Structure 1
Amino acid sequence: MSRAVPKSKRNEFVDKVQEMFDKLSGPVVMICGRNKIETGSKEREKFTMILPNFGRLAKLPLPLKRLTEGLTGRKTSEDNDIYKLFTNVMSLLPPKEEDNLVVFNKQLGEDRRIVISRSNLNELLKVLEENELLCTDLYQVNTDGVILTKQRAEKVIGWARNHYLSTCPSPSVKEGRLILPRESIEISVKRLQAQEDISRKPSHNLKNIAKDEYETNFVSAVVAPGEIGVKFDDVGALEHVKKTLNELVILPMRRPELFTRGNLLRPCKGILLFGPPGTGKTLLAKALATEAGANFISITGSTLTSKWFGDAEKLTKALFSFASKLAPVIIFVDEVDSLLGARGGAFEHEATRRMRNEFMAAWDGLRSKDSQRILILGATNRPFDLDDAVIRRLPRRIYVDLPDAENRLKILKIFLTPENLETGFEFDKLAKETEGYSGSDLKNLCIAAAYRPVQELLQEENKGSVANAAPDLRPLSLDDFIQSKAKVSPSVAYDATTMNELRKWNEQYGEGGTRTKSPFGF
């Protein structure tokens, strides 16, 4: 005599089944509903679901065959490809017996896996056909752990094609169509799964990743790429800088298969952004992390210092060990000269010197771990204060200069496009009138100009000439910006001593510069 399953436990099972299928997205599994039906004087739950391996029930013990009670028939549609993947659509009742409930739950999990797998293969097949590619053993590809939409399938096939072409000296072609091996597709599926696991990783779980109190100190400094909210399109001008960063950082992170052959083609481990203040160095770092899909750790000198002797070295070592668990990751060091300035000064503290030595030793350790995609990105206004050993570890040094008229025009359009401007606003004239302004200066100028209509409205209200109704601000005019220049002037003089030093340093160390000229004149 079978035992009746308690009502509370059956309700828990019902909710569990519903939750399992609710997690699926798209046309992978369809639930037609969960309704109560009367059986005598009692009410029971009835499910309508797709069960792809229902045919195997014939081989199961008799108690499990009773799960087929309530079979309502088949439902197919030639308009929807997903129906072609399944053989049965049915309504069934959850089992009464506790032992059968366990078997049913296990089979339900297996059905879910099969449904997702068949849908994934269907999406991959569509993409292969659209791009005139073949995979002779596609139906043996393991896609467990991911749910593929068309966009994700296109990404997987693109990665698989690049992986195959970069690793196979003589690719297989049949009737003009490239034949992708199963192994390349499965490698790409695992890459997609790893990428999505990182993007879904909540910040509060980072504490579980940190192994000790030193690594825990950097949890608050981690920003996920989706939380930064800044892209290259939000950065006006600096097109050559964005192009260089795309080649050095984004390309290796998005297409690692291109950097696996040979010893010379390896991702860059260190980049320096230098230039006058307010030119967008920090903004570029944030946009870079978003575009590359990498975690972002922002540190300063205070992050790696402690009142306790010896803690600075432990914090530095913990920074790199923690970053290796979050790879791909960008470690952004703002005002890097304050952290890694020249050693050997008369006022240098021993703890600071030891911390710098530990930082550079750990940094060098990254070079033997090419699989860990960790980038040190430094930004400074004073690159000439950096230690020579730091300069060596930053092989790519990009000068972020003050914007010219053309680039100022791009920056102004980004700031002012959402604003209420007068008809025929002369952006070109404003760009010419702001010679020497940095991107930050231009933003401050726009803010100051936006206050002028507000001040005028308040003055009119004080005179009593305007009723206290909804405020109606006039559009901004070019004159508002010209008048505001008296309040917001350039923060950096282009012919200042610091600017001359920056240009000389760029000529000697920066991108496009040359070191053939000795600073001593010989």
Structure 2
Amino acid sequence: LEIAVSRLREQETTSKRPSQTLKSLAKDEYESNFISAVVPPEEIGVKFDDIGALENVKSTLNELVILPMRRPELFSHGNLLRPCKGILLFGPPGTGKTLLAKALATEAGANFISITGSTLTSKWFGDAEKLTKALFSFASRLAPVIIFVDEVDSLLGARGGAFEHEATRRMRNEFMAAWDGLRSKDSQRILILGATNRPFDLDDAVIRRLPRRIYVELPDAENRLKILKIFLSRENLDPSFGLEELANATEGYSGSDLKNLSIAAAYRPVQELLEEEKAVRTYAVHSFLPPMDYL
């Protein structure tokens, strides 16, 4: 019993250690806002092998991100071979941009911070700039780290001129200034990774800070087959079920579409069973109705 109790205490201590470490790194209340957004690489739970397609994209990300973060000494010489500080993933919805970002952090051994427009907004005037500054200062103590900006066009879209809110303008300017600070420090292993379905809505200044833009396209039949094999690897399939036939029949489907299709198919036997049970119950009730006339 004592051994079991001691093991439980060790597990509790281990589970609390990451959050306690992050709390000690946060210098103020603004940095503390991002503690819950930080996911260590060993806790992300997604790897490149879990993505059944996009081999060219994964290879490119390996060269641009994983090698510089894993082997920074290879990129410490000269002016041309420098770590990339900004990458844009763009393409149709559901093609796996967010999944790629998470898997990239795992493969690079980097902490993962996902932010959206709402992450840096506040009802108090001036807090948006403080939150933005806190994001970058906190990230600098967590390096290597990937800051993933999902739907980056909503946060850093084209400027709205006279109709743009002053707080939004100030927040964007602070983000750009902090980003430029990263680009001037090659030794800091921090990457801004943006994802969008609408790249043409991005501000020109943002595009310049994202020198590497990677198109994440819809999967072809071969890649749809790879994706389906991953989704259905643990399912009990009919021996006559043809994965190749399904892959060929799903032209234009994204990875997300294929996942939803697989989930719907998995629920179908349950629905059929419930319909059969309902039919049996209905028949049983009706079988008693005629005899009741004689009671």
TM-score normalised by the shorter chain: which range applies?
Answer: 0.7 to 0.9
Q: Which moved more, 1:424-433 or 1:386-395?
A: 424-433
SS in 1 for 2:92: coil
Paired-residue identity, %: 87
Partner of 1:341: 157
Query: For 1:295 and 1:342, how far apart are their aligned partners in 2?
Result: 29
CA positional deviation for 1:345: 3.2
CA positional deviation for 1:201: 6.1
Choose which of 27, 51, 61 in structure 2 pairs with 1:211.
Answer: 27
CA positional deviation for 1:241: 0.6
Matched, 1:320 2:143: no
Q: Residues 224 and 247 from structure 1, CA distance in 2 versus in 1: closer, same or farther, beyond 3 angstroms?
A: same
Query: For 1:459 and 1:334, how far apart are their aligned partners in 2?
Result: 41
Query: For 2:96 and 2:139, how far apart are their aligned partners in 1?
Result: 25
Query: For 1:312 and 1:460, how far apart are their aligned partners in 2?
Result: 57
Q: Which whole-Å deviations, capped at 9, do the CAs of 1:83-131 have from their partners, x for residues lacking one?
A: xxxxxxxxxxxxxxxxxxxxxxxxxxxxxxxxxxxxxxxxxxxxxxxxx
Query: For 1:226 and 1:385, how far apart are their aligned partners in 2?
Result: 34
Choose which of 261, 266, 270 in structure 1 pairs with 2:82.
Answer: 266
Partner of 2:255: 439
CA positional deviation for 1:311: 1.1
Partner of 2:119: 303
CA positional deviation for 1:455: 1.7
Query: For 1:217 and 1:462, how far apart are their aligned partners in 2?
Result: 51
Partner of 1:372: 188
CA positional deviation for 1:251: 0.7
Choose which of 256, 260, 271 in structure 1 pairs with 2:72.
Answer: 256
Amino acid at match of 2:200: F
RCO comparison, higher one (Cα < 8 Å, 6+): 2
Partner of 2:221: 405
Partner of 1:478: none
Q: Residues 411 and 291 from structure 1, CA distance in 2 versus in 1: closer, same or farther, beyond 3 angstroms?
A: same
SS in 2 for 1:429: helix
Choose which of 45, 62, 77 in structure 2 pairs with 1:246.
Answer: 62
SS in 2 for 1:297: strand
Matches within 5 A, 1:278-293: 278-293=94-109
Query: For 1:293 and 1:428, how far apart are their aligned partners in 2?
Result: 35
Matches within 5 A, 1:11-160: none
Partner of 1:463: 279
Q: Which whole-Å deviations, capped at 9, do the CAs of 1:294-323 have from their partners, x for residues lacking one?
A: 000111111111111111111111111100
SS in 1 for 2:81: coil
Q: Which whole-Å deviations, capped at 9, do the CAs of 1:366-412 have from their partners, x for residues lacking one?
A: 12211110000000111100000000000000011111111111111
CA positional deviation for 1:456: 1.8
Which of structure 1's runs of 4+ aligned residues deviate more than 3 A? Answer: none
Choose which of 445, 449, 453 in structure 1 pairs with 2:265.
Answer: 449
Aligned residue-pair number = 268
Q: TM-score, normalised by structure 2?
A: 0.88
Choose which of 219, 230, 234 in structure 2 pairs with 1:414.
Answer: 230
SS in 2 for 1:272: strand
| Structure 1: gaps (5+ residues) | 1-18, 24-199, 466-522
Partner of 2:52: 236
Query: For 1:349 and 1:417, how far apart are their aligned partners in 2?
Result: 49
Query: For 2:162 and 2:263, how far apart are their aligned partners in 1?
Result: 44
The Cα RMSD (Å) is 1.7
Query: For 2:161 and 2:264, how far apart are their aligned partners in 1?
Result: 43
Q: Which whole-Å deviations, capped at 9, do the CAs of 1:450-486 have from their partners, x for residues lacking one?
A: 1221122222223339xxxxxxxxxxxxxxxxxxxxx
Query: For 2:280 and 2:162, how far apart are their aligned partners in 1?
Result: 66
SS in 1 for 2:181: helix
Partner of 2:210: 394
Amino acid at match of 1:318: A
Q: TM-score, normalised by structure 1?
A: 0.50
CA positional deviation for 1:236: 1.4
Q: Which whole-Å deviations, capped at 9, do the CAs of 1:129-175 have from their partners, x for residues lacking one?
A: xxxxxxxxxxxxxxxxxxxxxxxxxxxxxxxxxxxxxxxxxxxxxxx
CA positional deviation for 1:324: 0.2
Matched, 1:363 2:179: yes
Choose which of 117, 122, 145 in structure 2 pairs with 1:329.
Answer: 145
Amino acid at match of 2:121: T
Query: For 1:456 and 1:446, how far apart are their aligned partners in 2?
Result: 16
CA positional deviation for 1:203: 2.0
| Structure 2: gaps (5+ residues) | 1-5, 11-15, 282-295
Q: Which whole-Å deviations, capped at 9, do the CAs of 1:301-352 have from their partners, x for residues lacking one?
A: 1111111111111111111110000000000000000000111434310110
Partner of 1:223: 39
SS in 1 for 2:141: helix
Query: For 1:387 and 1:455, how far apart are their aligned partners in 2?
Result: 48
